Amino acid sequence: MEEQKTEGQRLEEKLTFEIKSCWETVGENERDAIIEFAEQYKQFIDKGKTEREFNEECLSILKEEAFIDLENALLAGRRLKAGDKVYQNNRGKSLVFAVIGRASIKEGVNIVGAHIDSPRIDMKTNPLYEDGGFAIFDTHYYGGIKHYQWTTIPLAMHGVVFNKNGEKQIVRIGEDENDPVFVITDLLPHLAQDQMQKKANEFVRGEELDVLAGSEPFKDGKVKEKVKLTVLNLLNRKYGVTEENFASAEIEFVPAHRARDVGLDRSLIGAYGHDDRCCAYTAFRAALECAGSSEQGDIPEKTVVCLLTDKEEIGSMGNTGAQSRLFENFIAYLCSQTVENYSDIDLRLALNRSAMLSADVNAAYDPNFADVFDKKTASFCGKGLALSKYTGVRGKVGGSDANAEFLQRVQAILDKHGVRWQFGNLGKVDKGGGGTIAQHAANLGVDALDCGIPVLSMHAPFEVISKIDLWTAYRGYAAFLKDA
């Protein structure tokens, strides 16, 4: 016999709002799907550890799924119709793709946008020097990192360099088990008395994040820098490059480790680059789902757009970042190939009636650092898709603030699809803050809301997310793309 509830208990149930762990209500079948989805994600991000690699992985799937190059379609004057699937690859570093819906573009499009760059250690343009019997790569860190976290862990070298014939060489060393890895050294505790007194942002300085490249001297007494020559010789033999070629190269050092399950229950995933590839991957999969299978897809009502951008970690600048006109141009292209007698007004109308989820990670509540979080509005690992009504620092400065009307609309869609959501405010007032790409779309007139997956140790070499949040984000983005 169930105990009779008191009036107060009934009223409490009716009037108060509590967010529970998503694991508590998940069935066995769905649990299997969650674990399987996490495995696919882990494999994907191990292959896509840089914006270029992630872009390439997405692109190859889009081509398999019969998406066509929008720029080629434009040049060929090809008109687009409902159900057509198009992409625009922007310099191999950012990507936008769409499934054309039944409604006119002028009705607006549904977008999920995420960024595919992550904090890392970039090689300088004239990187190689010799000191103390070592050849060393000089570096410049990228994004907001705690410098000290990047020392004494195995690093892999990824990127592109052009050889003297102008041929692009793809660099990827440190991912195969038989590859060598790279490392940034740190001072031994025995001699760190002074270092340990310094502030955390000073005890390993940005200029001290240089990477070991080798130590065996080239056997020739006439040569001044013998170890440097050894390394240059190896690079020359492998890629056909000389020292000069590094002036134009883009080489990134990223953690060499793979994505791994975390915890005895395997409910969490530890990996490099969850920010923001966990949202990029779920957005990508959700948008793909809207295209249906290659043979018989259900055509979405509104046009579905997935935007994957670069350079978010340094302000979304440049022609691959979200501040560029990539997205605006893409919508213009779609308008021009679908709207009769297309004019600029059609584009403005389309943008102003569009809706976007800016999919980016949020700081998960961390019991080790409880005092920076407001537990009532923080996001928690395992509690679903985190909705951030606003971002910014201090008095919400520089942030993007979603309208109540739009937030309500998104919540209603998620509720309708049984997608669990939670709050996602970044820390207590005046403890810090941040922002994402939402504001750049919002500036074009698009309704935009920040929402994403809670992450522990954001911007560290090994970030942690929950498998069920990954799954929930995927389901939430798909629901939004179909129904917004």
For the segment 179-238, give every residue that binds Mn ion (CB under 5 A).
none
User: Least distance (Å) from Mn ion to the CB of residue 459?
Assistant: 6
Binding mask 368-397 for Mn ion (x = CB under 5 A): ------------------------------
For position 447 contacting Mn ion by CB under 5 A, the verdict is no
Cβ contact 216:230 at 8 Å: yes
Binding mask 52-91 for Mn ion (x = CB under 5 A): ----------------------------------------
Residue from 210, 275, 289, 366 that binds Mn ion (CB under 5 A)? Answer: 275
User: Least distance (Å) from Mn ion to the CB of residue 198?
Assistant: 25
**Which of residues 53 and 210 has its CB atom nearest to Mn ion in the complex?**
53
User: Least distance (Å) from Mn ion to the CB of residue 144?
Assistant: 7
User: Least distance (Å) from Mn ion to the CB of residue 433?
Assistant: 12
DSSP 207: G
Provide the H-helix boundaries in 131-210: 193-197, 200-203
**Which of residues 275 and 310 has its CB atom nearest to Mn ion in the complex?**
275
**Which of residues 23 and 142 has its CB atom nearest to Mn ion in the complex?**
142
**Which of residues 278 and 335 has its CB atom nearest to Mn ion in the complex?**
278
In DSSP terms, 110 is beta-bridged to 304, 355
Cβ contact 95:308 at 8 Å: yes
In sign, the C-alpha dihedral spanning 467, 473, 478, 479 is positive
Cβ contact 176:146 at 8 Å: no
Interface region with Mn ion, contact rule CB under 5 A, candidates 58-66, 69-77, 152-160, 270-278 = 270-278
Interface region with Mn ion, contact rule CB under 5 A, candidates 44-52, 149-157, 273-281, 381-389 = 273-281
For position 117 contacting Mn ion by CB under 5 A, the verdict is no
Please name the residues in contact with 135: beta carbons below 8 A apart, sequence gap of 6 or more. 128, 129, 212, 213, 214, 215, 227, 228, 230, 231
Residue 335: what residue type? C
How many residues bind Mn ion (CB under 5 A)? The answer is: 3
- At residue 173, the 3 state secondary structure works out as strand
φ, ψ (nearest 5 deg) of residue 278: -70, -35
Bridge-based pairing state of the strands 355-359 and 447-452: parallel
User: Least distance (Å) from Mn ion to the CB of residue 162?
Assistant: 29
Residue nearest to Mn ion (CB): 276
User: Least distance (Å) from Mn ion to the CB of residue 360?
Assistant: 4
Distance CA 218, CA 243 (A): 16
Per the listing, tokens 């698009």 go with 446
Interface region with Mn ion, contact rule CB under 5 A, candidates 8-16, 190-198, 222-230, 352-360 = 352-360
Residue from 84, 360, 366, 450 that binds Mn ion (CB under 5 A)? Answer: 360
Q: Which two tokens stand for residue 301?
A: 């009502």
For position 276 contacting Mn ion by CB under 5 A, the verdict is yes
User: Least distance (Å) from Mn ion to the CB of residue 94?
Assistant: 14
Interface region with Mn ion, contact rule CB under 5 A, candidates 28-36, 271-279, 289-297, 382-390 = 271-279
Please name the residues in contact with 448: beta carbons below 8 A apart, sequence gap of 6 or more. 355, 356, 357, 358, 400, 402, 406, 438, 439, 441, 442
User: Least distance (Å) from Mn ion to the CB of residue 388?
Assistant: 12
User: Least distance (Å) from Mn ion to the CB of residue 234?
Assistant: 34
User: Least distance (Å) from Mn ion to the CB of residue 141?
Assistant: 13
**Which of residues 232 and 361 has its CB atom nearest to Mn ion in the complex?**
361
**For residue 446, how far is the Cα from the chain centroid?**
21
Instruction: Describe the strand order of the beta sheet including 94-99 as a list of residue ranges.
Output: 68-69, 85-90, 94-99, 303-309, 109-115, 355-359, 447-452, 385-388, 421-423
In sign, the C-alpha dihedral spanning 199, 314, 467, 439 is positive
- At residue 477, the 3 state secondary structure works out as helix
Question: Could you count the other beta carbons within 10 Å of the beta carbon of residue 189?
Answer: 9
Interface region with Mn ion, contact rule CB under 5 A, candidates 171-179, 198-206, 233-241, 353-361 = 353-361
**Which of residues 128 and 426 has its CB atom nearest to Mn ion in the complex?**
426
**Which of residues 111 and 249 has its CB atom nearest to Mn ion in the complex?**
111
User: Least distance (Å) from Mn ion to the CB of residue 252?
Assistant: 15
User: Least distance (Å) from Mn ion to the CB of residue 394?
Assistant: 19
φ, ψ (nearest 5 deg) of residue 335: -60, -45
Residue ranges that bind Mn ion, judged by CB under 5 A: 275-276, 360
